[in-house]
Amino acid sequence: MVKINIAKMNYKITVLPGDGIGVDVTREAVACMKTIGKKFGHDFAFEEHLMGGCALDKVGVPLPDETLKAALDSDAVLLGAVGGPQYDNNPPKLKPETGLLALRAGLGVFANLRPAFLHETLIDASPLKADIVRGTDLLIVRELMGGAYFGQPRELTDERGLNTMAYTVPEVERVARVAFEAARLRRKKLHSIDKANVLESSQLWRKTVVRLAAEYPDVELHHGYVDACAMQLVMRPTDYDVIVTENLFGDILSDEASVLTGSIGLLPSASIGGKVGLYEPIHGSAPDIAGKGIANPIGTIASAAMLLRYSCKLETEARLLEDAITATLKAGYGTPDLKGQPNRVTTTEMGDLIRKYVESN
């Protein structure tokens, strides 16, 4: 019998625009995926659901059951951002951010890949001196389902707030493997970042990474403390290739790394390791610019490219979308956060320019 392999061409994508600029940037990324679909003959079926503050407003919970169910039943999830000042004093269960953590845990995505790459053309958008940032190209692998974000016990009373930072060996091993494998495909250098001089969870983290390193003799492994790493990142960013670190440290270091590239609005992420991948820019709902039509959509469009790569296995399509971003930046276009770009555009105009490149290349 002849076995015929028919490449899958239909993909079900759950779209969670969320709050604030999440809505604007997700719209652009979805439109880019539609353009890619049309060009290459793929059928992306997008299904939008409530998540975050908008879900709290409409149905009273940040992650409705039907949203998680739809997400689990799809090929990938594309998320904008959640949160807003009106929810900041909500009890923990009724915070938009709690919904996001529940989504990550519900999907089982324990490894969050956050690439920070400086486009040569944006060298003046970075607040750092050109000779320091030139050549920055790093990947933060952030643990996403453990640490202080999820550790028990946790509680909030009138007198006390409590969180627990805990890691088990399997939790460290699985994310460290993702990082070692990623390093193998890059420049084969891995920095494991912890606070092992103080924290027991970090001591276990380091011991586990050291043990695993024996399986990856081709990867050069370094260890560093998170405080020193925060400093080195802005002093010698090109020293880094892949960084693997726990949840909270990864959250902080990735915002810092985004500044090297010119704007937090540029950085995408892919959360993998579970049944369904989750793709979101690293930034938040940006209440200060929400509703103004000026948010940078590139982080979300680049997240869509990661979705094409990791969840749909469409490497050519992912590359084309990334090339479109690079070319549009090179042509001098930029939303107002990209200082030094001569051609200032809105969120939608930026999306349109990227789509035009996709159509004609």
Residues 6+ apart with CB under 8 A from 308: 33, 36, 314, 315, 317, 318, 321
Binding of ligand NAD by 84 (CB under 6 A): yes
Q: In angstroms, rounded to a whole number, what is the distance separating the alpha carbons of residues 100 and 51? A: 8
Q: Report the largest interatomic distance among the alpha carbons of the chain, rounded to a whole angstrom.
A: 71
Segment contacting Mn ion by CB under 5 A, of 45-53, 173-181, 229-237, 248-256: 248-256
Residue closest to ligand IPM, measured at CB: 97
Is residue 324 within 8 A of residue 358, CB to CB? The reply is: yes
Minimum separation from the CB atom of position 83 to ligand IPM (A) = 6
Catalytic annotation on 225? no
| Binder of ligand NAD out of 15, 133, 144, 295 (CB under 6 A) | 295
Q: Treating both helix axes as pointing N-terminal to C-terminal, what angle do 347-360 and 315-330 enclose, rounded to 10 degrees?
A: 120
Minimum separation from the CB atom of position 284 to Mn ion (A) = 7
Amino acid identity, residue 265? G
Which among ligand NAD, ligand IPM, Mn ion, none contacts residue 265 (Cβ within 5 to 8 A by kind)?
A: ligand NAD
Q: In angstroms, rounded to a whole number, what is the distance separating the alpha carbons of residues 32 and 321? A: 8
Binding of ligand NAD by 21 (CB under 6 A): yes
Residue closest to Mn ion, measured at CB: 251
Catalytic-role residue among 19, 241, 251, 337? 251
Segment contacting ligand NAD by CB under 6 A, of 5-13, 176-184, 292-300, 353-361: 292-300
If you write DSSP's letter for every residue of 4-28 in order, what string do you get?
P-PPP-EEEEEEEEESTHHHHHHHH
Is residue 308 within 8 A of residue 36, CB to CB? The reply is: yes
Q: Which of residues 198-227 bind ligand NAD (CB under 6 A)?
A: none
Minimum separation from the CB atom of position 190 to ligand IPM (A) = 21
Binding of ligand NAD by 264 (CB under 6 A): yes
Catalytic-role residue among 11, 87, 149, 240? 149
Binding of Mn ion by 251 (CB under 5 A): yes
Residue 277 DSSP SS3: strand
Q: Which two tokens stand for residue 15?
A: 């779209």
Q: In angstroms, rounded to a whole number, what is the distance separating the alpha carbons of residues 293 and 297? A: 10
Ramachandran quadrant class, 16 (left: phi over 0; alpha: psi -120 to 50; beta: rest): beta
Cβ closer to ligand NAD: 99 or 146?
99
Catalytic annotation on 137? no
Q: In angstroms, rounded to a whole number, what is the distance separating the alpha carbons of residues 267 and 15? A: 18
Minimum separation from the CB atom of position 241 to ligand IPM (A) = 21
Catalytic-role residue among 195, 240, 241, 333? 195
Catalytic-role residue among 75, 255, 323, 352? 255
Catalytic annotation on 195? yes
Minimum separation from the CB atom of position 81 to ligand NAD (A) = 4
Catalytic annotation on 189? no
Catalytic-role residue among 43, 207, 227, 275? 227
Q: In angstroms, rounded to a whole number, what is the distance separating the alpha carbons of residues 189 and 219? A: 6
Binding site for ligand IPM (CB under 6 A): 83, 97, 100-101, 251, 282, 284
| Binder of ligand NAD out of 81, 175, 253, 260 (CB under 6 A) | 81
Cβ closer to ligand NAD: 112 or 201?
112
Is residue 57 within 8 A of residue 63, CB to CB? The reply is: no
Cβ closer to Mn ion: 306 or 358?
306
Three-class DSSP labels, 106-170: HHCCCEEEEEEECCHHHCCCCCCCHHHHCCCEEEEEEECCCHHHCEEEEEECCCCEEEECCCCHH
Residues 6+ apart with CB under 8 A from 269: 112, 113, 114, 254, 279, 280, 281, 282, 303, 306
Binding of ligand NAD by 302 (CB under 6 A): no
Catalytic annotation on 323? no
Q: Which of residues 271-290 bind ligand NAD (CB under 6 A)?
A: 280, 283-289
Catalytic residue ranges: 149, 195, 227, 251, 255
Residues engaged in binding ligand NAD (CB under 6 A): 21, 25, 81-84, 97, 100, 264-265, 280, 283-289, 295-296, 299, 337
